[in-house]
Copies of this chain bind each other. A is one copy, B any other.
């Protein structure tokens, strides 16, 4: 049993990582609460009928199904029926749709919520991909106007700023834009899917994209030329990353190629909506990093309007994405319900913070070791209580070991300071900086200041 571990593709959270996860959850939650968003939660499992919807498809393969129990299991086996009744949720969107249907009467007509929780997918485990992982979804259910896009984007940029992730670009487009443009340039309906799938890789594998486009459009040199020119132009703009050129009107020559006029009018409406969102976001938050990016393809089929994602400089994949999806949330409620939201790449941000010391530090509890001087243990624990009353996280060394061994223990446990003695009458402590092997005597308030990361007063 020496190699016993968690299930394949799942992780234990040791204290440092558990603290960092908590810190990230709290930071995200605090920011969205500033915007009136409140937390909800749902059970980890849902009825299979809820999870599989119509047909099931891809999701069914990834599903962890829960076996029926007792009588029902015996019956199902006997009658050759389904032996599973529940499944673990594979995202937080299906549970939200079910939640909205269940609590229809009780929710405000504009329902702002966030949900940070694990989901499960029986994917083939690989580097950085887990079968149990956290998602973090923020959504406004019932908000139909683009003002809600403005709010969600503004709130999300505040989260990015608060997390101190560094320079990022918040890319905005519309799910309808590429199909309108491409068919407006002459692509047929059945080409749209493969073209957008190809374009999705533009920022990671540009050469491959251009080759695929040539293959896909070999039969129509006029269309191929226009698409190539457009994609090349967008790619160059993107590569410059100045933000200066990433404006909708910069692409006017391509919009002008769109025919017939009805389609052009549709495209113009989509563009006007995007322009209005960008203008508002920049007015509300002049520090916004929003940019227009016509090649943005959000994979999810369920988006129906504006889509966006954020990319942090130095990291290839987006760290969050979202958009408007007016067709999904009403699925179980039996009526159309507009919705716009954002899914934060919780695990990706977590791994960025783990890489960076700043993130680690933010999540570290400043535990202090209270050295066991071999005197009365009651006195030792009394002193520990007094120090805790002053707000210090005290780990009391309760074993009988010499100080050297105690210091070693503390260093291994990532503890920075040890209190060697505490004189309550004068409120004086003698402390040791463990890695520097330096002893200091000072007042308790001075030590508190030191712990808080400031120079002693």
Residues of A within 8 A of B (CB): 1-2, 4-7, 10-15, 18-19, 21-22, 29, 33-36, 38-47, 50, 61, 63-67, 69-70, 83-84, 86, 88, 98-99, 101-103, 106, 108-110, 112-113, 118, 120, 122, 132, 143, 145, 147-148, 150-151, 154, 158, 279-280, 283-285, 332, 334, 365, 367, 377-378, 381-382, 384-385, 388, 392-396, 398-399, 409, 412-413
Within 8 Å CB of A33, what residues of B? 365, 367, 393
Within 8 Å CB of A21, what residues of B? 41
Closest to A62 in B: B69
Q: Which of A147, A279, A409 has the most CB of B within 10 A?
A: A147
Q: Is the CB of B38 within 8 A of A15?
A: yes
What are 10 inter-chain pairs, A to B, with CB distance below 8 A?
Answer: A2-B334, A12-B42, A12-B102, A12-B103, A35-B394, A44-B44, A66-B67, A67-B67, A67-B84, A147-B381
Q: Is the CB of B43 within 8 A of A132?
A: yes
**Complex CA distance for A142 and B340, rounded to whole angstroms:** 50
Q: Is the CB of A154 within 8 A of B101?
A: no
From B2, B7, B42, A45 is in contact (CB under 8 Å) with B7
**Complex CA distance for A66 and B10, rounded to whole angstroms:** 14
Each complex incorporates copies of this chain amounting to 2
Q: Is the CB of A7 within 8 A of B412?
A: no
Within 8 Å CB of A367, what residues of B? 33, 36, 38
Q: Is the CB of B151 within 8 A of A396?
A: yes
Q: Is the CB of B396 within 8 A of A36?
A: yes
Within 8 Å CB of A409, what residues of B? 108-109
A113 → chain B closest CB, angstroms: 7
**Complex CA distance for A14 and B104, rounded to whole angstroms:** 12
Q: Is the CB of A382 within 8 A of B283?
A: yes
Q: Given A365-B33, A394-B36, does the pair A10, B280 have CB atoms closer than 8 Å?
A: no
Q: Is the CB of A40 within 8 A of B18?
A: yes
Within 8 Å CB of A34, what residues of B? 388, 392-394
Within 8 Å CB of A413, what residues of B? 108
